[in-house]
């Protein structure tokens, strides 16, 4: 079956420091990987959508300078939260899909706490 793993599951960082999170797809080719953040208010926000062999598309209010993403192959993606502050708290979810129109498979998320 198709599975998505995320690491770490939980992390705490000091304000102003950076945190890298990883996403691993197993059992299918992750042609596209989307990174989402669910805020403490439970709202889901798309950060960026990465498709292999295409440029990474960031949503409004999210930038590559703040959330650099790497998607080097069809099974792995990573995202870093640079200079994390309180407003970056939340659950970061990775959703991967073989292609447009296909079901997206989600990892369990990385919960980020910023002190």
Among 26, 64, 102, 115, binds other proteins (CB under 8 A): 102
Nearer to other proteins, 32 or 78 (CB): 32
Q: Are 30 and 74 in contact (CB under 8 A)?
A: yes
Using rule CB under 8 A, residue 87 touches other proteins: no
The secondary structure of residue 87, as a DSSP letter, is G
Here the tokens at position 81 are 């939260």
Using rule CB under 8 A, residue 56 touches other proteins: no
| Residue 1 CB burial class (10 angstroms; 0-12, 13-18, ≥19) | exposed
d(CA 32, CA 82): 23
Nearer to other proteins, 3 or 83 (CB): 3
Binding site for other proteins (CB under 8 A): 32, 34, 36, 38, 42-44, 46, 49, 51, 91, 93, 95, 97, 100-109, 111
């Amino acid at each position: 079956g198709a599975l998505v793993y995320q690491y770490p599951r939980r992390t705490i960082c000091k304000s102003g420091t950076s945190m890298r999170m990883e996403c691993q797809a197993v059992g299918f080719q992750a042609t596209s990987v989307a990174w989402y953040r669910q805020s403490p208010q439970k709202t889901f926000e798309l950060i960026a959508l990465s498709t292999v062999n295409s440029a990474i598309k960031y949503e409004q209010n999210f930038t590559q300078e703040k959330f650099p993403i790497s998607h080097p192959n069809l099974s792995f993606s990573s995202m870093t939260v640079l200079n994390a502050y309180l407003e970056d708290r939340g659950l970061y979810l990775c959703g991967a899909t073989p292609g447009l129109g296909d079901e997206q498979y989600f990892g369990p998320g990385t919960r980020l706490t910023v002190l």
